[in-house]
Chains A and B, each alone.
Chain A
Amino acid sequence: MASNLAIRQDSKFKRWVAKEGSAYAFLSMYALLFIVFIVAPVLVAFFLSFTFFDTIQTPTFNGLKNYIVLLTQDEIFMRYVLPNTIKFAVIVGPCGYVMAFMLAWMLAQLPKVPRTIFALILYSPSMTTGIAMAVVWKTLFSGDQNGYLNSFLLGMNFIQEPIQWLQSPQYLMTIMIIVTLWGSMGVGFLAMLAGILEVNPELYEVGSLDGISNRFQEIVHITIPSMKPQMLFGAVMSIVATFQAGAIGVTLSGGNPTPQYAGQLIVNHIEDFGFLRYEMGYAAAVSVMLLLMVLFFARVANRLFGSSD
């Protein structure tokens, strides 16, 4: 009887393989990599966030201590990192997003050739975030009188002495925001451009008959509602890009921590504790906070543009 059951189970398995096996075979490679490099790191971060771990000894469980310390005793986190991150994210995210939409909207109303050229120029900065850009921005904002910005401002008599742009806590954050915004016309921008181009032109005609009387109303009542899926995609891309851009302050100023923590973002805080102080458990707790922040902003975007079901 046991063998009978085994055979029956075996044939059930065979039927399953015949029916769904090839689908899983096609999925298997992606799924494996996805689990190893995305799911597992998130789970490990979650697990480590409840431990003390210095990379040498095995992690020891210490409950919510990391989170409590983070929220109540980590002065740098509360005074610099969190406000910086929120300021950076709130300015770069929505501004970059609105800019991307407005630019896409204008581009959509131009003929194909100029549109393509403009799109290329606007998109090109986003291709080279990071390394190649460091060369450009470090030279432009160089702190001596040879720096391009300093030389320009000195020449115009706006300033009397060269300013250490990238080393001064006053300016670092502003420069980080400008540099990031400059590179924020990425995939989301292209998606929104494509979305606007696909809106059914008849809708605009109907809208004008229904009493839409200016361009702003047209954008709010026709363009955006007809391309909500692209708007949401663009929003998610913009949120991810904003938080992913966190290393910019360290790249520009040349060191972690940034001068007086002026450009310190949550990503740098993770690196600071993880790779410089080897407090992996604590760093993991900060990572979890970051992932939660991303999820929160994505939920907000979902509220705004998600399909209502």
Chain B
Amino acid sequence: MRRKKSGKRFSGIYNNRINPKGFHPSQIKFYVILLPLAVFMFLPTLFIFSHAFKPPDELFAYPPRFLVINPTSKNFTDLFTRMGNSGVPVSRYLFNSILITVATVAASIFVSSTAAYALSKKRFKLKKVLFAINTVALMFVPIAVTIPRFLIIERLNLMDSYFVHILPVLALPVGLFLIKQFIDGIPDEVIDAAQIDGATDVQIYWRIILPMIKPAIATIAILTFQATWNNAEISTLYINSESLKTFAFYLSTLTATTAGANVVAGQGMAAAAALIMFLPNLIIFIFLQSQVMSTMSHSGLK
């Protein structure tokens, strides 16, 4: 009614509305821009899926075809029957990746959420300073300090162990930041009430905070998952024993050697392995995306 009254006056978004309930002709222009772009962005994803199921003659067909015609699972069986370097089966790399990723995600949730609870709800002198330090650390670029990290990890005797896969990833400033901002949204009264009822800090953390911050936990789980599952660098730098290396590392050796003698087998296996790398990322994000979005609305950096 209001809108009619203001007649020809421009009212932009207000007319079409942010977060509209349904379709409106004014949205067509966005679809016109977004659809081709989305198709373009989706091409490589589609390629990963399609390429993984191509039989050898299609992998090397001329002219090359983007989509698979006769899908086959041969690349996957090749991948799992072949031994990796120095006789380590591919399933071992995959097992390592799964074990390391699960352990890292669980530990990361625990480490970040406990710290975030303290930074958000506890009262202590250094609270503001510590949070400010973490905020500066959001700008930390791990790749810049690869060498000093290497020296430190060497000194700590962490080389060649599962720990070196897990520990360096756990201090994730952006994870702590997001969870802390999310806990800030929980009213202090809830915690005060629990304290009056005689709840200890551990009980408050476990019974009140954790159940209320599930979206933030889902978000940090995804971030940690991506950082760990896709990580080939740690295996390259810190692991000598082949049986402790990850699937991402194995894939990187496949892509590096595809120019060699077994170029045919290599290409197909790399394609299959790339799909195995990619799929968990996608599935987890699809399941958790609404939680991530609700965390992100707390992400503001002041």
Contacts and interface: CB of A to CB of B under 8 A. Distances in A.
The majority secondary structure among interface residues of chain A is: helix
Nearest to B222: A127
Contact of A128 (B9, B139, B148, B277): B277
Interface stretch (A62-70, A71-79, A169-177, A189-197): A189-197
B302 A270 contact: no
B45 A124 contact: yes
Contacts of B14: 201, 204-205, 208
A34 B137 contact: yes
Contacts of A135: 48, 51, 251, 255, 270-271, 273-274
Which of A191, A196, A254, A275 has the most C-beta atoms of chain B within 10 angstroms of its own C-beta?
A: A191
A3 interface: no
Interface residues of A, number: 115
Interface stretch (A6-14, A90-98, A139-147): A139-147
Contacts of B273: 135
Contacts of A148: 64, 66
A257 interface: no
B56 interface: no
B17, B22, B37, B118: residue with the most chain A Cβ atoms closer than 10 Å: B118
A295 B151 CA distance: 24
B230 A109 contact: no
B44 A27 contact: no
A275 B144 contact: no
B171 to A, nearest CB: 4
Contact of B141 (A131, A187, A198, A294): A294
B151 to A, nearest CB: 6
Interface string B256-285: 101000000001001101100110011001
A38 B171 contact: yes
Interface stretch (B76-84, B85-93, B119-127): B119-127
Interface in B4-48: 6, 9-14, 16-23, 27, 30-31, 33-34, 37-38, 41-42, 44-45, 47-48
A158 interface: no
A37 B168 contact: yes
Contacts of A280: 147, 151
Given A33-B111, A36-B152, A41-B152, A233 B147 contact: no
Given A131-B232, A193-B296, A287 B142 contact: no
A218 B13 CA distance: 8
Contacts of B196: none
Contact of A197 (B18, B115, B125, B300): B18
A121 B38 CA distance: 6
Nearest to A36: B152
Interface in A227-277: 227-230, 232-233, 236-237, 239-240, 243-244, 246-247, 254, 267, 270-271, 274-275
Given A22-B201, A185-B41, A194-B293, 18 more contacts: A33-B111, A103-B34, A109-B18, A120-B286, A121-B38, A124-B42, A124-B285, A194-B297, A195-B300, A205-B14, A218-B12, A230-B299, A230-B301, A233-B301, A244-B142, A267-B143, A280-B147, A294-B141
12 contacts: A20-B123, A23-B127, A26-B118, A31-B115, A106-B34, A109-B13, A110-B30, A112-B19, A122-B37, A213-B10, A230-B296, A267-B143
